[in-house]
Amino acid sequence: MPALQGHGYRSRPGRPGRDRGGVMSADQRVTAARDYLTDARKRSVDQLPPSLLMRECAELRRLLGHALGMLADRQAEAGRLAEIRAVLARFDWEFDDRQLALEEIDRIAGGEQ
Protein backbone atom coordinates (compact mmCIF):
# COMPACT_ATOMS: atom_id res chain seq x y z
CA MET A 1 0.00 0.00 0.00
CA PRO A 2 2.87 2.49 0.41
CA ALA A 3 2.98 2.89 -3.39
CA LEU A 4 -0.63 4.08 -3.38
CA GLN A 5 -0.25 6.68 -0.67
CA GLY A 6 1.11 9.23 -3.13
CA HIS A 7 -2.12 8.88 -5.11
CA GLY A 8 -4.40 10.00 -2.31
CA TYR A 9 -5.15 6.52 -1.04
CA ARG A 10 -5.56 6.36 2.71
CA SER A 11 -4.95 2.98 4.18
CA ARG A 12 -7.17 2.26 7.17
CA PRO A 13 -8.37 -0.89 8.81
CA GLY A 14 -11.82 -1.90 7.55
CA ARG A 15 -13.86 0.15 5.15
CA PRO A 16 -14.62 3.85 5.59
CA GLY A 17 -17.27 4.51 8.21
CA ARG A 18 -17.61 0.87 9.21
CA ASP A 19 -17.09 -0.28 12.75
CA ARG A 20 -15.67 -3.77 12.57
CA GLY A 21 -18.25 -6.49 12.93
CA GLY A 22 -21.14 -4.05 13.52
CA VAL A 23 -24.03 -3.06 11.35
CA MET A 24 -24.03 0.50 10.08
CA SER A 25 -27.10 2.66 10.56
CA ALA A 26 -28.61 4.47 7.59
CA ASP A 27 -27.05 7.74 8.74
CA GLN A 28 -23.63 6.10 9.08
CA ARG A 29 -23.94 4.64 5.56
CA VAL A 30 -24.80 8.04 4.11
CA THR A 31 -21.93 9.68 5.97
CA ALA A 32 -19.48 6.98 4.84
CA ALA A 33 -20.58 7.33 1.22
CA ARG A 34 -20.36 11.13 1.38
CA ASP A 35 -16.88 11.01 2.96
CA TYR A 36 -15.63 8.47 0.45
CA LEU A 37 -16.96 10.46 -2.50
CA THR A 38 -15.41 13.66 -1.13
CA ASP A 39 -12.02 11.93 -0.89
CA ALA A 40 -12.38 10.35 -4.34
CA ARG A 41 -13.23 13.69 -5.97
CA LYS A 42 -9.92 15.13 -4.74
CA ARG A 43 -8.01 12.76 -7.04
CA SER A 44 -7.82 12.96 -10.81
CA VAL A 45 -8.82 9.66 -12.38
CA ASP A 46 -6.12 9.84 -15.05
CA GLN A 47 -3.41 9.94 -12.35
CA LEU A 48 -4.47 6.74 -10.56
CA PRO A 49 -3.09 3.27 -11.27
CA PRO A 50 -5.61 0.72 -12.64
CA SER A 51 -5.47 -1.35 -9.45
CA LEU A 52 -6.64 1.61 -7.37
CA LEU A 53 -9.32 2.49 -9.91
CA MET A 54 -10.71 -1.04 -9.65
CA ARG A 55 -10.75 -0.81 -5.85
CA GLU A 56 -12.50 2.55 -5.97
CA CYS A 57 -15.02 1.18 -8.46
CA ALA A 58 -15.77 -1.77 -6.17
CA GLU A 59 -16.11 0.51 -3.14
CA LEU A 60 -18.42 2.90 -4.98
CA ARG A 61 -20.58 -0.03 -6.09
CA ARG A 62 -20.78 -1.24 -2.49
CA LEU A 63 -21.70 2.21 -1.19
CA LEU A 64 -24.30 2.66 -3.94
CA GLY A 65 -25.83 -0.67 -2.97
CA HIS A 66 -26.08 0.48 0.65
CA ALA A 67 -27.66 3.78 -0.38
CA LEU A 68 -30.21 2.08 -2.65
CA GLY A 69 -31.04 -0.43 0.07
CA MET A 70 -31.58 2.38 2.54
CA LEU A 71 -33.89 4.17 0.10
CA ALA A 72 -35.90 0.99 -0.42
CA ASP A 73 -36.27 0.62 3.35
CA ARG A 74 -37.41 4.21 3.67
CA GLN A 75 -39.95 3.79 0.84
CA ALA A 76 -41.51 0.83 2.63
CA GLU A 77 -41.66 2.83 5.87
CA ALA A 78 -43.21 5.81 4.08
CA GLY A 79 -45.84 3.53 2.52
CA ARG A 80 -46.79 2.10 5.91
CA LEU A 81 -46.99 5.59 7.38
CA ALA A 82 -49.29 6.71 4.55
CA GLU A 83 -51.56 3.71 5.22
CA ILE A 84 -51.71 4.55 8.94
CA ARG A 85 -52.55 8.17 8.14
CA ALA A 86 -55.35 6.97 5.84
CA VAL A 87 -56.80 4.82 8.66
CA LEU A 88 -56.75 7.81 11.01
CA ALA A 89 -58.22 10.15 8.38
CA ARG A 90 -61.24 7.93 7.72
CA PHE A 91 -61.77 7.12 11.40
CA ASP A 92 -64.90 8.62 12.95
CA TRP A 93 -64.00 9.33 16.56
CA GLU A 94 -67.63 9.38 17.67
CA PHE A 95 -68.92 6.17 16.12
CA ASP A 96 -66.04 3.87 15.00
CA ASP A 97 -64.53 1.13 17.13
CA ARG A 98 -61.17 2.35 18.43
CA GLN A 99 -59.93 -1.16 19.16
CA LEU A 100 -60.46 -2.23 15.53
CA ALA A 101 -58.62 0.87 14.32
CA LEU A 102 -55.71 0.18 16.70
CA GLU A 103 -55.52 -3.42 15.52
CA GLU A 104 -55.45 -2.27 11.89
CA ILE A 105 -52.70 0.23 12.69
CA ASP A 106 -50.70 -2.48 14.52
CA ARG A 107 -51.09 -4.76 11.50
CA ILE A 108 -49.88 -2.05 9.12
CA ALA A 109 -46.99 -1.00 11.38
CA GLY A 110 -45.92 -4.64 11.69
CA GLY A 111 -45.65 -4.93 7.91
CA GLU A 112 -48.59 -7.33 7.55
CA GLN A 113 -50.95 -6.95 4.63
pLDDT at 22: 67
pTM of this structure: 0.46
In the three-class reduction of DSSP (H, G, I as helix; E, B as strand; rest coil), residue 3 is classed as helix
Return the pLDDT at 102.
92
- pLDDT (0 to 100) of residue 81: 92
Residue span of the structural domain in which 27 resides: 2-109
The number of distinct structural domains making up the chain is: 1
Q: What is the pLDDT of residue 21?
A: 54
For the chain (113 residues), the mean pLDDT of every run of 10, in chain order, is 39 44 75 84 83 87 85 86 92 89 91 69
| pLDDT score of 110 | 86
DSSP per-residue string spanning 9-47: ----SSSTTPPTTSPPPHHHHHHHHHHHHHHHHTS-GGG
Identify the burial level of 47 via C-beta atoms within 10 angstroms of its C-beta, where 0-12 means exposed, 13-18 middle and 19 or more buried: exposed
